[in-house]
Amino acid sequence: MAKHEEVKNGVIFPAGEKNDAFAQYFVGQSYLKNLVADPNISVGVGNVTFEPGCRNNWHIHHDGFQLLLVTGGEGWYQEEGKPAQFLKTGDVVVIHDGVKHWHGAAKDSWFEHIAITAGTPEWLEPVTDEIYSKLEGDING
């Protein structure tokens, strides 16, 4: 059994539906519940839930930013050229305009965050299993 199983049903907000619209940009299964999707507001807010081992591709937010508010489970955030950061409930990540990065669940844990996003995403290559497995080894042994 994976750690933080309670996250799969949502912690504060519902986990939402399978994130089929963005599935091509993820390794593994994610779920999305849009919380703010108003065309008159230039910021989107969504609750993103990741099954264990799920992560999104490397990506860049152009003409904007992204804020991640971790609400449950354990996961990872990494900027290109920097070490990965282990994330847990209560962590906040500020991602500036133009920064190449990825985020997702730890190998053995569900993970959930609120994503506050402005600008246009540019989706890039997947995070390889080699990179991801190495990160897990750094924390677990």
Q: pLDDT tens across 14-35, in order?
A: 999 999 999 999 999 999 999 9
pTM given for the model: 0.92
Q: Is 85 left (phi over 0), alpha (psi -120 to 50) or beta?
A: beta
| Distance (Å, whole) CA 78 – CA 96 | 13
The SS3 call for residue 53 is coil
Percent of the chain's residues with pLDDT above 90 = 84
At residue 11, the pLDDT reads 87
At residue 42, the pLDDT reads 93
- For 6, phi and psi rounded to 5 degrees? -60, -20
Indicate the helix (H) or strand (E) that contains 132.
helix 129-140
Interval 126-140 mean pLDDT = 77
And the tokens for 141? 């042994």
At residue 91, the pLDDT reads 98
Q: How confident is the model at residue 9 (pLDDT cuts 50, 70, 90)?
A: confident
And the tokens for 130? 């080699």
**Is the per-residue pLDDT at 41 higher than 80?**
yes
